[in-house]
Amino acid sequence: MLILSSRSALRRHAVPLSRSMTTLPFLHPPPEPILLQYFTKPAAAAIRNPRAVWPVNRVHLIGRNYAAHAAEMGDDPKKSSPFFFQKPASAIVDTTKTSALKYPRDTTNYHYEAELVLGIGKDSAGVVPLSEAMSYITSIGVGCDLTRRDLQNEAKEKRRPWDDSKGVEDSGPIGGLIEVSEGDDWWYSEDSLLTLTVDGVEKQRTLTKNMIWSPEEIVHYISKRHDLKIGDVIFTGTPEGVGKLERGEKCVLSLEGGTEKIENSFVLE
């Protein structure tokens, strides 16, 4: 279970789950919901997050949101609209609590993909206007979209869904979510840098401003097809340089801008 944290002290809160859980007859008790870890950072502006901790709801991911990565995957980055896919909530891992991740079965080509992650802190009803989209983003983090690339390539060749390649357990490690307030945009400014290293060797490096679709555009487009809910997590795409990750290799992701920096590290077992 992922729990609420702060940079200075750990605080625990009871979470009302009735809004997000449907009552069904279970032969066995259902598992406890995975909770987003949440780091609080000092801020002069009012905090927009209405709840301190919540169950992970949907996990949305945008495909090929950096031109160079789209090109390396054989795609045209000048698409007319973005496309999305999803992971199950069970894919999310709090790497500040558990840094050893399972290497999945039935793959010999497991790839890392570093991504800026957005945490949604309020519910929407209907399409979110672009002018309001940033108000739904109340936390950010850095995550890795781990992918069974061999299964994904096979699915593409057979024109089948990607679920088996993207939805595997432990395939969405996030190194904590950092609270952001109105105007606190260090994570999406001109010098906001996203990097990934494997055993100390840099593999991915980009400015988040290089994204084809901005955070507000991503929120807007997702809301065209889904109601956004508290606890939704959005992976915003990976830059070029994706590659194979082996057992025992240490993967470190970082996001920094100005004086701020957050990290996410894990090892596959």
For the segment 150-195, what is each residue's pLDDT rounded down to a tens digit? 999 999 999 999 889 999 999 999 987 888 887 788 999 999 999 9
Q: What is the mean pLDDT of residues 198-223?
A: 96
Asked if residue 140 has pLDDT above 70, the reply is yes
Q: What is the mean pLDDT of residues 18-34?
A: 44
Long-range contacts of 39-43 (CB under 8 A, 24+ apart): 39/5, 39/6, 39/7, 39/176, 39/177, 39/178, 39/179, 40/6, 40/7, 40/179, 41/7, 41/178, 41/179, 43/179, 43/181, 43/184
Strand, coil or helix: what is 96?
A: coil
118 C-beta neighbours (distance < 10 Å), count: 28
Confidence of residue 258 (pLDDT cuts 50, 70, 90): confident
Q: Which residue has the higher pLDDT, 69 or 93?
A: 93
Q: What is the mean pLDDT of residues 59-70?
A: 84
What rounded mean pLDDT belongs to the chain? 81
DSSP strands (E only) in 95-167: 100-101, 110-112, 114-120, 137-144, 147-148
C-alpha span between 217 and 194 (Å, rounded): 19
pLDDT value, residue 72: 63
C-alpha span between 118 and 166 (Å, rounded): 18
If you ran DSSP here, which 8-state letter would residue 186 be given? G
Confidence of residue 33 (pLDDT cuts 50, 70, 90): low
Q: Where are the domains of the chain?
A: 38-268
pLDDT value, residue 175: 82
Phi/psi-derived region of residue 113, left when phi > 0, alpha when psi is between -120 and 50, beta in every other case: beta
Q: What is the pTM of this model?
A: 0.81
Q: Which residue has the higher pLDDT, 134 or 13?
A: 134
C-alpha span between 31 and 90 (Å, rounded): 11
**Cβ pair 250, 265 in contact under 8 A:** yes
pLDDT value, residue 146: 98
Q: What is the mean pLDDT of residues 235-253?
A: 97
Confidence of residue 23 (pLDDT cuts 50, 70, 90): very low
Strand, coil or helix: what is 232?
A: coil
Q: Which residue has the higher pLDDT, 230 or 235?
A: 235
Asked if residue 65 has pLDDT above 50, the reply is yes
Question: Which are the contacts of 67, defined by CB distance < 8 A and separation ≥ 6?
Answer: 77, 210, 212
Asked if residue 95 has pLDDT above 70, the reply is yes
- Over the stretch 66-90, which tens digit does the pLDDT of each residue have? 987 556 656 666 566 788 999 999 8
Query: 205: closest CA among 215, 193, 213, 214?
Result: 193
Question: Which are the contacts of 184, defined by CB distance < 8 A and separation ≥ 6?
Answer: 43, 45
Q: Which residue has the higher pLDDT, 3 or 260?
A: 260
Question: Which are the contacts of 15, defined by CB distance < 8 A and separation ≥ 6?
Answer: 35, 51, 53, 54, 55
Question: What proportions of the chain, in percent to the nearest 5, are helix, strand and coil?
Answer: 15, 30, 55
- Over the stretch 199-209, which tens digit does the pLDDT of each residue have? 999 999 999 99
Query: 49: closest CA among 109, 113, 115, 135?
Result: 135
CATH node for 38-268 = 3.90.850.10
- Read off φ and ψ for residue 210, nearest 5 degrees: -80, -5
Q: What is the mean pLDDT of residues 1-9?
A: 34
pLDDT value, residue 120: 93
pLDDT value, residue 70: 58
Query: 3: closest CA among 70, 74, 98, 88?
Result: 98
Q: What is the mean pLDDT of residues 50-64?
A: 79
